Amino acid sequence: MEEPTRQARIRAAMERALGLAVRGPEADPNPRVGCVLLAPDGRVVGEGWHRGAGTDHAEVMALADAGDLARGATAVVTLEPCNHTGRTGPCAQALLSAGVAEVVFAQADPTAEAAGGALNLREAGVVVTAGLLAERAEQVNQTWTFARCTGRPWVTWKFAATLDGRSAAADGTSQWITGEPMRRAMNARRARCGAVVVGTGTVLADDPRLTVRDEQDRPVAEQPLRVVLGNRPVPVHARVRGDDGGFRQLPGADPLAVLEELASEGIHRVWLEGGPTLAAAWWRAGVIDEVIACLAPALLGAGSPAVAGLGIDTIADIARLQIAHVERHGDDIALIMLAESPRTAAEPVEANHKEK
């Protein structure tokens, strides 16, 4: 195969691998990975993607798909093949055992326990190329990469408010400020997170389920953890408790300690839906990365604000956010904003290597 044609086919294979990667569950403890195997003549002989913790990694799935045709092939992978044994063996070794001649990957693995696959492959004589469509691959696993690099999950704070910034009326009622289309859209976003966090005040006031629901209002199979922060007892019959073992109550005084606990369970994205006091505490702790403000074209004039005091006394200290994009759902508007401009919003691409 001529070199320009070969490079074009490898690039096309990486595009395909990225499309396969996003089939995996975003909230899974492991990264989403896609793999395509190309024969020496450029034919696709195997494909795979990671379907979730405990299942075959993308490379192993592609090797099984290719069978004997994997020998001498080029493996095109969205993430550096792992060098780690968890529930499954290291993908770098699987590629070597299958006789793959070349590996092209997009994103380098940022985790200490899984990195090193590229080096092992090179030392065994495999031709390895890194960085093809790396930015695209990093976007596929944006919050997973963030958590591995910072040691804590990415935090998205979502709230609903009127135009005058009220999240509850003067009598304490708060359901529903926004309409059904906005609630469906936010339900879909919640499904992309590993944990939903609220305070005991929200549980006692609203008795929320904090679950992800389908169009018929039925709970979906894979649910985020439902985490309640605070020392006040959660009623035995509170809906948040559920019956699936996905409920946690944590003291919650220190946001960093809470995030460390959630990270230990493989959570890399947290959906914060707490009331104004909890939101203010997490903002002041500097752990909110993304803000989604769901604004209804309505006024209350009095009632609870969306957030409590932030320690800002002068306009010179105003906390400004960067708008990543704006969505309209029904009559309501969602502003998706970043707390710090260098970061990129965690949006899906179209088209913990540590096993849990």
Q: How confident is the model at residue 348 (pLDDT cuts 50, 70, 90)?
A: very low
Averaged pLDDT for residues 310-318:
93
The answer to whether the predicted template modeling score (pTM) of the entire model surpasses 0.85 is yes
Preceding peptide of 157 cis, ω within 30°: no
- What pLDDT is stored for residue 84 in this prediction? 75
Q: How far apart are the first and last CA of the chain?
A: 42
**High-pLDDT (> 90) share of the chain, %:** 80
- What pLDDT is stored for residue 263 in this prediction? 95
- What pLDDT is stored for residue 347 in this prediction? 44
Paired sense of beta strands 332-338 and 322-329, if any:
antiparallel
> Mean pLDDT over all residues of the chain?
90
Local structure of 269: helix, strand or coil:
strand
- What pLDDT is stored for residue 346 in this prediction? 44
DSSP string, 121-183: HHHTT-EEEE-TTHHHHHHHTHHHHHHHHHSS-EEEEEEEE-TTSEEE-TTS--TTSS-HHHH
- What pLDDT is stored for residue 114 in this prediction? 60
- What pLDDT is stored for residue 352 in this prediction? 37
Beta bridge partners, 47, equal 36
Residue 59 bears catalytic tag: yes
- What pLDDT is stored for residue 87 in this prediction? 67
100 vs 163: CA distance, rounded Å: 59
Find out whether 147 and 137 touch, Cβ atoms under 8 Å: no
Which range, 138-147, 246-255, 341-350, is most confident? 138-147
251 compared with 124, residue with greater pLDDT: 124
Which domains are present in the chain? 3-140 (3.40.140.10), 152-338 (3.40.430.10)
- What pLDDT is stored for residue 341 in this prediction? 41
Q: Which of 59, 80, 273, 290 is catalytic?
A: 59
- Given a cut of 60, whether residue 291 has pLDDT beyond it is yes
- What pLDDT is stored for residue 94 in this prediction? 96
- What pLDDT is stored for residue 4 in this prediction? 76
Averaged pLDDT for residues 84-92:
78
Beta bridge partners, 196, equal 226, 271
- What pLDDT is stored for residue 1 in this prediction? 61
- What pLDDT is stored for residue 74 in this prediction? 98
Smallest CA-to-CA distance from 32 within 120, 137, 122, 102 is with: 137
Q: How confident is the model at residue 252 (pLDDT cuts 50, 70, 90)?
A: confident
- Given a cut of 90, whether residue 145 has pLDDT beyond it is yes
Q: Tokens standing for 111?
A: 């985790």
- What pLDDT is stored for residue 301 in this prediction? 93
- What pLDDT is stored for residue 326 in this prediction? 98
348 compared with 318, residue with greater pLDDT: 318
